[in-house]
Structure 1
């Protein structure tokens, strides 16, 4: 891979990904979006915990990358922070910003995520929460778009897969290719 190309992609991500000092506040605000958005709301009461990433920036032209920082909660308490990185090669074009939450069904799923470096398997899927528009996000490579207000949000196919359920809310941009495969998470306890 050309290092200039990779450097350019990450510089582009800095424009897509807003930087902030108040991560915990951003995480709480992002969690509120999911609490008010369709099926994801019921997961707050029925999960051991969750990891939330308020702003993930993703972009690419042939070679792509994504990055986001988030907070990890267990039994209602902020117990650590996490980063998500993704590098991908293949047909992709554009950039997007989105919010992502991963619910942990039980302590086993939580410990799997927080054991060090966690990576989703190739068959991992996210449920795209949309407001007044249709969208999907999966390893198959689909696009997501959002319009309208979050009070009109809808979800489709919300369930746990191997102890985790993932939801995304597109914030802006347009990109062909929206997958979880290749996303790596690094956890750091408080």
Structure 2
């Protein structure tokens, strides 16, 4: 690979990460603003998919990420911020940073929520360095399934991840990882 090609690749990767940061509150501060965004995302989810109220009531905690932005062209990146709530009270704030590599092109935004169904899963998440929950998480896409709730998912899964409110278009096959990091907004 020539230096010019490597340079182009780095520029494109940097541009993707820069685009991913747009609209996610970088440069803004304040827990109040982030809590407001989390409230709006939670209300949207529960209004559009009423079964998630029961799912939340059966969980021991929920991490709401109200706006994740991803961009990719070969290399990709994403960023978002959210709050961990226990009994609907914010206990910690988190950022999520993702990186991906593979055949991909596009930009998208979405929200996601992680419902921790066991005290052990919640404790593991809170003390972990934070790479995505992988094998012990069950993913659901309510926009494709129409409805989601505790009765339509495996309530025995330690973590149930919901992705909703997708906008934009990204296509391709990638390998990706997401790191959740505790932050002070």
**TM-score normalised by length of structure 1:** 0.76
Deviation at 1:161?
A: 6.6
Cα distance in structure 1, aligned partners of 2:85 and 2:133: 22
1:30 is matched with which residue?
41
Structure 2: segments with no counterpart, 5+ residues: 1-5
Confirm whether residue 9 of structure 1 aligns to residue 22 of structure 2.
no
1:46-125 superposed matches below 5 A: 46-123=58-135, 124-125=137-138
Cα distance in structure 2, aligned partners of 1:121 and 1:74: 19
Return the index of the structure with the highest Cα Rg.
2
Aligned partners of 2:108 and 2:168 also within 8 Å:
yes
1:164 is matched with which residue?
159
Deviation at 1:176?
A: 2.0
Structure 1: segments with no counterpart, 5+ residues: 136-152
Count of residues paired in the alignment: 169
Cα distance in structure 1, aligned partners of 2:124 and 2:158: 10
Cα distance in structure 1, aligned partners of 2:157 and 2:141: 19
List structure 1 runs of 4+ shifted beyond 4 angstroms: 121-125, 177-181
Provide closer, same or farther for how the CA distance between residues 168 and 178 of structure 1 changes in structure 2, counting only shifts above 3 A.
farther
Aligned partners of 2:102 and 2:174 also within 8 Å:
no
SS of match in other structure, 1:118: coil
Query: How big is the alpha-carbon RMSD for the aligned residues of Structure 1 and Structure 2?
Result: 2.7
**TM-score normalised by length of structure 2:** 0.78
